[in-house]
Structure 1
Amino acid sequence: MPSFAGNTLRGSFFLMLGLWWSIKYPIKYILQKLNSDNPPSRWNQCMDIIEGTAKAFFALGGILAEQFVPDGPHLSLYDNKTQDWVQLMHWQHMTMYLFYGFSGVVDVLIYTPLKLPVGLDRLLVALALFAEGFLFHFHDYKDAILTEHLYSLMNIAIFGAALCALLEVFQRDHTLLQLFRASLFILQGSWFWQIGFVLYPPWGGPGWNQEDYRNKNFLTMCFFWHYAVGLLVMAVNGFVGHRCSRGCGVNYGNFDVELDLTCCLWKKNRTPDPVLLPDNSSEEK
């Protein structure tokens, strides 16, 4: 949807996914460090299945929203009467959601008895990002100079995340790559919101002046401000995860809250197994 609501919908999708990863991967790294002998694979599987299911359903919602909004194409691609394509912008956005839906389905199927190849889930993420990036790159912006610049900046985050996901196909569970991908998804999500405010102000009125080069200069700077805020959010999440690993109990007044980090509790509360000694009885039988 080329509207404020459409941009916020896409932005919310990427923001939620990036923020979730910024919490998931630090906790996963901490759990592996605390319990390296017995990594919590079951916890990882549950989180990945829930994540894939949510991704697939959100993508399905995006596809339906793009097609069946009042001014949408309603599954009509070409109009024979006018001899013209029908709402290609909606179809492009639908294609973007379609590939992320494929990625969500593979996230779930990877843990089924189908025995899919290791790394296929990351490959589908990379393909979804490449599809999204090329759709925006080859879009015809006509004379909308500022709009084209906004999406050119967006492509920095998109293709950066795509290359990162592609590297993860071969470097499985590389924490730095995972965190870098999460930061670029947060950037992409917040930038979609920024595009919505610039091109389709929710309070009404026209968007920003397309011909003013000062707007381009400001928005380029603003793009990196968005990334700086995203990195700050990730740092806070990492710090909280680290503090949780240092002390598994948090005291709030009269209440003791136990943070259920499985291996942390296991290591902290583990007691040595009793050793059975032979009974040296002096009594003769």
Structure 2
Amino acid sequence: MGTLMGHILPGTFFAIFAIWWGFCVAVKHFHSRHSRNKLRKPNPYRSSITFSCLCCPSSALRQMPLESYLKLICVIIGILGEGVTGLKHRYNDTLKRQTWIFVEVNAQHIAMFFSFGFASFIEILVYAKYNLPKGIEYIVNIFALGVEGLLFHFHLHGRNEIDIHVHTLLVYNIVFCVCASIWEYNRPNEILATYCRIATILLQGAWFYAAGFILYFPSNDPYWLWAPTHGSILILTVIFVWLGLLICMFLFIQSALVWSILRRRYRNLARYSALNGDDGDNDETDTEEKIENSNTHQLKSFKTNNGNAIINIDNHADDNSDSQIEFEQEQKYTSTI
């Protein structure tokens, strides 16, 4: 990652997945709010660590964990790339001969890639219905993010002040992402937790881009070099904050656009319910809903004959009310003490 492309590639990886997750969460939330069953109750939203590919033409492909396979393939490519570029044949001053060494930074990157690859492998096992603990896919992804944050925290030794500050902000972002993932794991029905995780992942991808251009700008012009001053530290922090704000705005606009498109597509709610398999009697369910929501229940007149006392109650202002109760008690009883 010690080059501009070394920061752009992981940044693209995180950004693409975060944008895709934002789209899928908006679609899933729309379905949970508008698809109704026979009892006219909305299906509750429930988060997931991966999403099916809605654009696939085949239903079998839509059900496969393509995200997990794609992440696993990218991880394998990254490990192979770091392994090839990290192996060096250099002269050792102590041994006075050429020796094979492995660059420490590449070893860190391989460990980070492997943690995300392991998380993807667990996701595939969960899809295959292996008998694994519930929610393990969240735990392994939280573990992978924790490994990434730990490695980047100790990635700063011997760097200049600008490099240290850029990577420190990245570590802060990873900590936010871990906290959001833990929140989502404990509150799977809370959509804000899912959006917090997506926002931090997207911010991580955007900051990888920013870090690449800050540290390895493709120009030798001194104008683009960041001097290690207090003013530079402040400006870098402002850039980080503004990226976070723009990402929140982007996710809001993305969600609004998705909802607008889906509402236009399913403008008729009855047609939408039919597409979702609600084949019950609509008139019957409407009547049930009216009865449940009615707060004007009236009683027809009734008469009770309790010994010698006769009570007439006439409390029906509307004979056509939704709920009418009519009963008559004619049996007398006496009480002897």
Q: Identify the TM-score tier after normalising by the shorter chain.
A: 0.7 to 0.9
Of 32-41 and 87-96, the range deviating more from structure 2: 32-41
Tell me, yes or no, if structure 1 residue 27 matches structure 2 residue 43: no
Which is richer in helix?
1
* Aligned counterparts of 2:232 and 2:189: Cα–Cα separation in 1: 40
| CA pair 107-149 structure 1, distance change in 2 beyond 3 A | same
Amino acid at match of 2:19: L
Structure 2 residues without counterparts, runs of 5 or longer: 38-42, 53-61, 284-337
* Aligned match of 2:106: 90
* Aligned match of 1:199: 215
Mapped contact 2:199–2:248 kept (Cα < 8 A): yes
SS of the counterpart of 1:110?
helix
Task: From 184, 187, 191, give the equivalent of 1:171.
Answer: 187
Tell me, yes or no, if structure 1 residue 117 matches structure 2 residue 102: no
| CA pair 138-84 structure 1, distance change in 2 beyond 3 A | farther
Task: From 105, 118, 121, give the equivalent of 1:105.
Answer: 121
Of 79-88 and 207-216, the range deviating more from structure 2: 79-88
Mapped contact 1:26–1:238 kept (Cα < 8 A): yes
Whose RCO is larger (CA < 8 A, sep 6+)?
A: 1
Tell me, yes or no, if structure 1 residue 74 matches structure 2 residue 87: yes
Tell me, yes or no, if structure 1 residue 138 matches structure 2 residue 154: yes
* Aligned counterparts of 1:141 and 1:210: Cα–Cα separation in 2: 19
Task: From 149, 168, 181, give the equivalent of 2:197.
Answer: 181
* Aligned match of 2:246: 229
* Aligned counterparts of 1:58 and 1:31: Cα–Cα separation in 2: 31
TM norm structure 2: 0.67
* Aligned counterparts of 2:275 and 2:104: Cα–Cα separation in 1: 57
Find the structure with the greater CA-based Rg.
2
Post-superposition offset of 1:166: 2.2
* Aligned counterparts of 1:49 and 1:13: Cα–Cα separation in 2: 17
* Aligned counterparts of 2:231 and 2:217: Cα–Cα separation in 1: 19
* Aligned counterparts of 1:98 and 1:87: Cα–Cα separation in 2: 17
Tell me, yes or no, if structure 1 residue 266 matches structure 2 residue 274: yes
Structure 1 residues without counterparts, runs of 5 or longer: 251-262, 276-285
| CA pair 205-88 structure 1, distance change in 2 beyond 3 A | farther
Amino acid at match of 1:23: F
Q: How many residue pairs are counted as aligned between the two chains?
A: 258
SS of the counterpart of 2:113?
helix
| CA pair 186-73 structure 1, distance change in 2 beyond 3 A | same
4+ residue runs of structure 1 moved beyond 3 angstroms?
36-41, 43-48, 79-85, 203-207, 263-275
Post-superposition offset of 1:28: 1.0
Which is richer in strand?
2
* Aligned match of 1:216: 233
| CA pair 5-272 structure 1, distance change in 2 beyond 3 A | same
Post-superposition offset of 1:67: 2.1
SS of the counterpart of 1:104?
helix
* Aligned counterparts of 2:109 and 2:63: Cα–Cα separation in 1: 27
| CA pair 245-99 structure 1, distance change in 2 beyond 3 A | same
* Aligned counterparts of 2:101 and 2:88: Cα–Cα separation in 1: 12
Of 138-147 and 217-226, the range deviating more from structure 2: 138-147
Post-superposition offset of 1:134: 0.7
| CA pair 246-11 structure 1, distance change in 2 beyond 3 A | same
